[in-house]
Amino acid sequence: MRTRPLGTGGPQVAPLALGCAGMSDHTGPADETDALATLRAALDAGVTLLDTADFYGMGHNEDLIRRALSAADREKAVLSVKFGALRDPDGHIVGVEGRPAHVKNALAYSLRRLGTDHIDIYRPARLDPDTPIEDTVGALADLVQAGHIRHIGLSEVGPGTIRRAHAVHPIHDVQIEYSLFSRDPETNGILDTCRELGIGVTAYGVLGHGLLTGTYRPPAGGDPRSSWLPRLRPGHLAANLALVDRLRPLADAHGIGVAQLATAWVLTRSQGDLTVVAVLGARRPHRVEEALAAVDVTLTQADLDRIDQAVPAGAAAGSRYAAPLMALLDSERPAHPMKTGDAS
């Protein structure tokens, strides 16, 4: 796959990235053999960016990636690591930590688990409301200077925070949920700010947490994720699946599935000075192959207009997270300390 810089002066990345959360029991049991095979399939196919976090599986995800990477792979791979989400023994998020001492301590453990001497993109998973972003980024800048990290990223932050952080040290990537069902970055200034400052965007949730695969069926007894993903709740699910059905004729016209159409739509957001990378969650090798088909899809302006008519911005029923999780998102002002729940 052709690569391009993620932000001005950022690392070279392929248009698709592999999100690794699901390989470590993030939303349900995961098979480790399948996970390792999926990582190998992605690397062999030219996927360069691997997205993880120190709290995915309480460190298991980083260890898994270490075991999948050969020395040659490490030279090609771009490791993107989130830190700062604090979890209790039951796995619930109980706080956010962005103090400089924690930044450096968390990195030390991640370097050991990943078996590497540097991380390519290191970022706070959420904004710590009790620590100025300037302090957090200042600590990250020290780690860049020391050679322990190569680039600084942010996650789920609004335009004001992006600007404050970028004034301390260049930011190369902002990770944000962005899909046909979650288009707020287009109107809340996040994409415009990234474009202006030369910052890349890694878009997660591009398949609407499974809704936009075109194959989603709720498990018997309901989807347990609906406790923190309102769009999967019975009151919203039927309306959202009806929207997905409106995309099927458009996907059929291109000889692809709804998942590839939704992914290709996200990739069209990468224009001019703005690089948008689609982060695909996969736990089995064949899912990587399916996702790669989206890279070769060309959507015309007429196609994009028809997609907008089928799924207008804001059409998805339900908020993207439950209220406690929405409250902690700086990208969804106002933001408050993280109290409970789970997050990507």
Each of the 344 residues of the chain gets a pLDDT tens digit; together they read: 789 999 999 999 999 999 999 898 655 567 889 999 999 999 999 999 999 999 998 899 999 999 999 877 888 899 999 999 998 888 888 889 999 999 999 999 999 999 999 999 999 999 999 999 999 999 999 999 999 999 999 999 999 999 999 999 999 999 999 999 999 999 999 999 999 999 999 999 999 999 999 999 988 888 889 999 999 999 899 999 999 999 999 999 999 999 999 999 999 999 888 999 999 998 889 889 889 999 999 999 999 999 999 999 999 999 999 998 888 899 987 433 333 344 44
How far is the CA of 167 from the CAs of 132, 141, 173, 193, 292, in angstroms? Answer: 13, 11, 14, 13, 36
Cα separation, 300 vs 142, in Å, equals: 45
First to last CA, the chain: 26
Q: Please give the model's pTM, rounded to 2 decimal places.
A: 0.92
Distance CA 118, CA 193 (A): 28
Count of positions (residues) in the chain:
344
Catalytic residue among 56, 178, 204, 216: 56
Which CATH code is given to the segment(s) 4-213+266-298+323-332? Answer: 3.20.20.100
From CA 194, how far away is CA 202, in angstroms rounded?
Answer: 11
All residues at 6 or more sequence positions from 59 whose CB lies less than 8 Å from its CB, including other chains: 109, 113
Q: Based on DSSP, count helices (H) and strands (E) in the chain, helices before strands.
A: 12, 12
3-state secondary structure of 17: strand
CB 155, CB 125: distance < 8 Å: yes
DSSP character string of 59-119: GHHHHHHHHH--HHHHHH-EEEEEE-EEE-TTS-EEEE---HHHHHHHHHHHHHHHT-S-E
Residue 56 is among the residues annotated as catalytic for this protein:
yes
